[in-house]
Structures are given as C-alpha cells and as structure tokens.
Structure 1
C-alpha cells in the first residue's frame, strides 16, 4: 500500500469499501494479480514510476495516476507531495 499513491484509500468499485490489495483480484491482497498488479510488477518493476503512472492498466481511458490521485505523476514513497483523493481503481 505504501508503494503507490493513496494505496490505503482505494475503494472497491462494487461496494465502496477499502480495497487493501490494489494489485490483486482479492481485495484483501495476495493471490492472483489483476492488470494493475501485473503492470506494477513489469512496468514499475515493483515501484511507482512515471511510466506506470501514465499507463492505463484497466483500459478505462483514465491513467493509473489519475485514478490514484496523482494525475501529474509527482508522487514518490519518500516525498509528501499533496495527492488528490483516488477517483477509481486502476486494475
């Protein structure tokens, strides 16, 4: 959760609860990776970066960064860049 922007605030699109395992099909994490999890592993190489931020893992026309509240791709785990609220689920 601390490796992506708002990783602890992403909502389940079905019931609006917190989706703790953002990169997994299981909302609690672990198990099979969803499209964002696969991209986090391959594009991001297990870290948030500009390419992963600008990518649209779930193909809904909205970048991962925009969905996670980092539309300008400025967030890193080590800075305190102000984030918007997440607007969707990237995977």
Structure 2
C-alpha cells in the first residue's frame, strides 16, 4: 500500500497539474525563449524545463554531474519549479497576487510577459517568459534567472 501511495504522489509531481495552466492567462501560449528551442511551446510553465522529456533528461544530467564530481545524491532534492513557479506556489496559486510581480527580474511584470498587462485575465499574446530573462534582459541588474543559467542544453548538444 505504501508503494502505491508513493507512486501516486510521484506521478502527480512528475505530470504536474494541467489545471494550473487554465488559472494563468495565456499560459498555454508561452514560447520557449531558450537557444535551440525558440518558438516551441513551454508546456510546463512554472517548471524548470519546458516539457516532460527535457525535464527528465535535465534531472538525470544534474544527478550525473554530481555523481561525476564524487558527490552523493542520496537524500538530495532537485528543484522542480522556476522562479515564476515558486512565486505562484508562494501566492497559493492565485494569479491576481503575482500578476504585477516581476518574478524573473527582467523589468517586465508577469502579467505583461503573459499578455495580460492590466491583470484582468485577458486573452492575449505573451511577449516573454515570466520565469526566464531573455538574452536582452539577462544583463539587467535584477535578473535572477538568465538564460545561460536556466535553459536546457540545445538539441545539438548531447543530454545524458
């Protein structure tokens, strides 16, 4: 029974909560700003990786890098959420509480980046990613998630 409970929890964590996307305006329209993935959808808004395949590969690569450095991964946690996802979680998953915030520190509010600058849950076109500063914004002094630190390797690079 314990194994079944752990399995159910893990599946919930890995596959996320698709209903969250319907609680964030235009979340299903966010494009991936990362080199090599431009204009592909970022399906896991709020997470560190844009889709499940890269999520699993990225987690495996992070673990392998620690092992290669001779570090133990036993009992170590690996973050699942990006700065936008952490803000959304901290706000108890309430869009209105984070719409005017600038989660990634790029100078644009989450609402502006998601095409809802007035925070009225408007349908629009996202102009950025609320969890990643793009190349032009990565140099901004308040940027907390520059592309070179948060983007997965481009498809041309091997991922273990």
Interval containing the TM-score (normalised by the shorter chain): 0.7 to 0.9
Unaligned runs of 5+ in 1: 76-80
Residue 28 of structure 1, CA deviation? 1.6
Q: Distance in 2 between matches of 1:33 and 1:23?
A: 6
1:90 is matched with which residue? Answer: 130
Structure with the larger RCO, 1 or 2 (CA within 8 Å, 6+ apart): 1
- Tell me which protein shows more helix as a share of its residues: 2
Is 1:38 aligned to residue 86 of structure 2? yes
Residue 59 of structure 1, CA deviation? 0.3
1:73 is matched with which residue? Answer: 119
The number of residue pairs the alignment matches comes to 83
1:64 is matched with which residue? Answer: 110
Residue 84 of structure 1, CA deviation? 2.3
Q: Distance in 1 between matches of 2:93 and 2:51?
A: 18
1:21 is matched with which residue? Answer: 44
1:78 is matched with which residue? Answer: none
2:26 is matched with which residue? Answer: 6
Task: Tell me which structure has the larger Cα radius of gyration.
Answer: 2
TM-score, normalised with respect to structure 1: 0.84
